[in-house]
Chain A
Amino acid sequence: MTINRRDFLKVSAAGAAAAGIGSLAGCAGGGSGGSGNVVVIGGGYGGATVAKYVRMWSDGGINVTLIERNTNFVSCPMSNLVVGGERKLEEITVSYDGLRKHGVRVIQGEVTAVDADKRSVKLANGDTIAYDRLVVSPGIDFMWESVPGLTPELANTKILHAWKAGPQTVALRKQLEDMKDGGVYAIAIPKAPYRCPPGPYERACLVANYLKAKKPKSKVLILDANDDVVSKKGLFMAAWKDLYSGMIEYRPKHEISSLDANSMTLKFEFADAVKADVLNVVPGHRAGDIAKQAGLITANNRWCGIDWRTMESTARPGIHVIGDATLSAPLMPKSGHMTTQHAKIAAAAIVSLMSGEQVADPMSIANTCYSYVDGKQAVHVASVHTYDAKEKTFKTVAGSGGVSAARNEIEGKYAWAWAKNVWADALL
């Protein structure tokens, strides 16, 4: 039997003695009820998780509509395995049918505008959908101006980023398959913060893993705008040296000044130009376009400020922002895993708010990012973040977290198990 808050009031009025006093150990209750309409924009890690958890924790009391432009969920984490030829795109793709089974209304469409005053969103097809609370989980869009010479058109055809999983992932794979033995693959990394800090280094490993087997005369150049390897430095450096010596070359402090797509050349502020056969340029990021349109961007024209207790926008009441689009708390990575944690904070807060309950301080949250260094071995970085009520932000817990002792095959298995479980947690 499930009982909601209204029932509880009746029960307590009817007399506690009749019901008996149970032990507190049983307090693993489901939802606390709530009602109203929640609309979620974006069906990535964040949007899918918040949609499911609002349904679950409200015992189905709150209506949830999820609007997503793609037919299926395609995971960014693990997509480097597709780039490297270890997995197929279908293996990192999940249908939204699982969310439908939770009673989420999933609409394939594009939100063109948010009207925060009227509390409604407008779709490209002309439909308007009203909400009581809105969750914006837009991920990132690119600052094209950060790479002079690069345009969205070029980025869709020749100079790929493959930093959003899907057609770009497959297209980059194809470019690598078409590259001649002895060719040069170069990945250009933007200045932090960007989504998935270890991602570019993992990609370099998995591309090299493929080239080593199939086109051993080729080279992998890592052109990093940052001063040093941003994540899991020791573990990646060891992999480059031990597994891909003579193939992978790491070049820090490579901030792009211009791109010439015709000659496939990148020029840099303070370093020699680089010509490559496959140029994989990841431009700088900011919060996704819809966050900009909705007036949610509050920091450096890039990120959305939020109240960490609820994930509610500091700019627009009634709108929660989660995931990579947020102005990150100190030492908080922009990752798929972290985004699911944001989603759970938001879900708990939304259910409380929509059932007229006080919002509790958010739970502690954790992040783990696995990276493959070849087809079988992986490494991780983990952290635990706890809410500091005084400073109103999340901080890492001293003494917790860390990285793998060394690359290993056990974590190669755990990495895939993580993916299967986090996808199920978000979407099934």
Chain B
Amino acid sequence: MKRTSVVVALALLGLAGGAFANEANYGRNMAAACGSCHGTNGKSVGGMEALAGYPKDKLVKAVQDFRSGAKPATVMHQLAKGYTDAQIEAIATYYAAQK
């Protein structure tokens, strides 16, 4: 039912037919770039942290901490600096919803 409510909500917001799917897919597409390391839809097969079902606020915080250096990293600090807060928000929303 989840998607039904989403599309309906978006329709009520008055988004044009062609555009809404792209909006809905934004987080999915952005998150897919992380999937090469963290697994398809965040389902890691091991050795990398799984991001599927990762709480949204926790992911946002982790990325901020990677950027600031508060959270130690081998590579994530360098990747985290390539994304805006809005982009991380979209990615975090997507992963939080993955089972």
Contacts and interface: CB of A to CB of B under 8 A. Distances in A.
A-side interface size class: 35 or more
A398 B83 CA distance: 10
Interface in B22-37: 22-30, 32-37
A331 interface: no
Nearest to A419: B47
B54 to A, nearest CB: 12
Interface residues of B, number: 53
B interface majority secondary structure: helix
A380 interface: yes
Contacts of A26: 2-3, 5-6, 97
Contacts of B9: 21-24
B11 A12 contact: yes
Contacts of B33: 341, 344, 363-366
Interface stretch (A1-9, A172-180, A182-190, A220-228): A1-9
B61 interface: no
Interface stretch (A63-71, A244-252, A312-320, A400-408): A400-408
A154 interface: no
A366 B4 CA distance: 32
Interface stretch (A27-35, A110-118, A161-169, A197-205): A27-35
B45 interface: yes
A22 B2 contact: yes
A337 B36 contact: yes
Given A363-B29, A400-B79, A28 B8 contact: no
B96 A364 contact: no
Nearest to A399: B81
Contacts of A363: 26, 29-30, 32-33
Given A21-B9, A348-B25, A421-B47, A404 B74 contact: yes
B58 to A, nearest CB: 15
A210 to B, nearest CB: 25
B39 A424 contact: yes
Nearest to A397: B82
Interface string A32-58: 100000000000000000001100110
B8 A16 contact: yes
Given A363-B32, A364-B82, A417-B48, A29 B74 contact: no
- 10 closest pairs, A vs B, by CB? A384-B82, A417-B47, A22-B5, A400-B82, A28-B97, A360-B22, A363-B29, A397-B82, A400-B81, A26-B2
20 contacts: A16-B12, A20-B8, A21-B9, A24-B6, A27-B23, A28-B96, A29-B3, A29-B25, A30-B3, A344-B32, A348-B32, A365-B33, A366-B79, A384-B81, A385-B82, A410-B74, A416-B47, A421-B36, A421-B38, A425-B40
Given A8-B4, A29-B2, A358-B22, 18 more contacts: A12-B7, A19-B8, A22-B5, A22-B6, A25-B97, A26-B3, A29-B25, A362-B29, A363-B30, A366-B79, A380-B75, A384-B81, A411-B75, A414-B48, A417-B48, A418-B47, A420-B47, A425-B36
